[in-house]
């Protein structure tokens, strides 16, 4: 720790705001998981494992934040050195955020693989995702024995790789998902609306997580106390943004089903007419099944 203690408000304030925002996002995630449980009881086992694993990890992180909040603002009340310690943030922020981000990114890499039938882009995304997760774990372990104000004791390299890798991965996912979906053409108005909705959601969700990762990285590198304090708040909620955006996309299948006015209560899939484009294998976002002797296809929405 440094020779002088930092101003408490520069550390305690951003931490408290981060804890509160994290709790709000956890509540939102809980609602999303409930919607998923009610709407998609017949979803594939792999998708269910993804959803509930993310939820368990986020629950663990929230419990750790509640513990830290209690310790810092009760036991540490009036004790600057207690407020300045990392507590469990080294694990709850860096390590869990990196793991959750990696899981989500690999999931979307698989979607891109099934959509495009190309192994190159998904492989690159998986490599970057695993690299950022390893860097996040490394950064967390290095930060365990330091104080929040002593950023000089933590190597900036693993933090930079973690946050920049996350931003690059999210950008690649949004870009290539948009590219492959935009190649899917259809003469059916409802299907065009479906594809437009998928593209819009992909761009929006990918830009949120990538933007936050970039902002946290820039604020950390600037090194100024006010900027660093703001980076604490954003880093606390980064993992919840990944999990919430993933559940929003999965649950959007229930909303998308309204396009064709099909009733899908209790079913994970809905049907849309779609003319298959030879340049677009829309599996991974849409599973197609032959319907009768007509040239049209019925498309089941799945992820």
Tens-place pLDDT, residues 126-165? 999 999 999 999 999 988 877 776 665 567 889 899 999 9
Q: Is residue 91 assigned to a domain?
A: yes
* Residue 300 is assigned to a structural domain of this protein: no
Q: What is residue 142's predicted lDDT score, i.e. its pLDDT?
A: 87
Domain assignment present for 1: no
Residue 283 lies in a domain: no
What is residue 183's predicted lDDT score, i.e. its pLDDT? Answer: 78
Instruction: Report if residue 282 sits inside a domain.
Output: no
3-state helix vs strand vs coil in the chain, percent to 5: 70, 5, 20
Alpha carbons 104 and 132: distance in angstroms, whole number: 12
Instruction: Answer whether residue 291 is part of any domain.
Output: no
Start-to-end C-alpha separation, the chain: 48
Domain assignment present for 285 = no
pTM of structure: 0.81
pLDDT at 2: 44
Q: In what order do the strands lie in the sheet with 286-290?
A: 271-274, 297-301, 286-290
CB within 8 Å of 114: residues ≥ 6 apart: 281, 283, 284
DSSP state of 85: B
In total, how many domains does the chain have?
Answer: 1
pLDDT value for 225: 59
User: Residue 257 is part of which domain span?
Assistant: 8-266
With respect to residue 213, please indicate whether it lies within any of the assigned structural domains. Answer: yes
Residue numbers of the chain with a pLDDT score lower than 50: 1-3, 259-278, 283-284, 286-303
Cα–Cα distances in angstroms (integers) from residue 216 to residues 58, 73, 104, 179, 282, in the given order? 20, 24, 19, 28, 35
Judging by DSSP bridges, how do beta strands 271-274 and 286-290 pair with one another?
unpaired
User: Domain with 32 in it: what CATH number?
Assistant: 1.20.1070
């Amino acid at each position: 720790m440094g020779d002088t203690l930092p101003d408490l408000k520069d550390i305690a304030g951003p931490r408290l705001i981060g804890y509160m925002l994290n709790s709000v996002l956890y509540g939102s995630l809980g609602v999303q998981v409930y919607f998923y449980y009610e709407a998609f009881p017949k979803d594939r086992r792999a998708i269910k494992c993804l959803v509930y694993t993310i939820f368990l990890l986020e629950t663990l992180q929230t419990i750790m934040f509640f513990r830290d909040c209690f310790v810092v603002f009760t036991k540490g009340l009036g004790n600057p050195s207690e407020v300045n310690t990392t507590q469990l943030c080294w694990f709850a922020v860096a390590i869990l955020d990196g793991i959750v981000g990696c899981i989500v990114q690999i999931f979307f890499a698989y979607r891109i693989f099934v959509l495009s039938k190309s192994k190159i882009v998904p492989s690159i995304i998986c490599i970057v995702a695993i690299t950022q997760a390893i860097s996040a774990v490394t950064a967390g372990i290095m930060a365990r024995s330091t104080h929040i104000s002593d950023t000089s004791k933590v190597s900036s390299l693993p933090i930079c790789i973690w946050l920049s890798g996350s931003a690059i991965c999210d950008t690649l996912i949004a870009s290539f998902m948009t590219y492959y979906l935009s190649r899917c053409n259809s003469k059916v108005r409802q299907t065009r609306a479906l594809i437009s909705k998928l593209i819009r959601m992909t761009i929006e969700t990918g830009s949120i997580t990538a933007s936050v990762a970039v902002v946290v990285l820039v604020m950390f590198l600037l090194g100024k106390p006010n900027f660093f304090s703001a980076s604490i708040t954003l880093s606390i909620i980064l993992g919840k943004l990944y999990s919430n955006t993933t559940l929003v996309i999965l649950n959007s299948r229930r909303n998308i089903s309204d396009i064709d006015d099909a009733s899908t209560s209790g079913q994970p899939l809905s049907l849309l007419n779609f003319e298959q484009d030879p340049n677009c294998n829309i599996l991974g976002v849409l599973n197609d099944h032959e319907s009768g002797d007509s040239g049209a296809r019925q498309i089941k929405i799945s992820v």
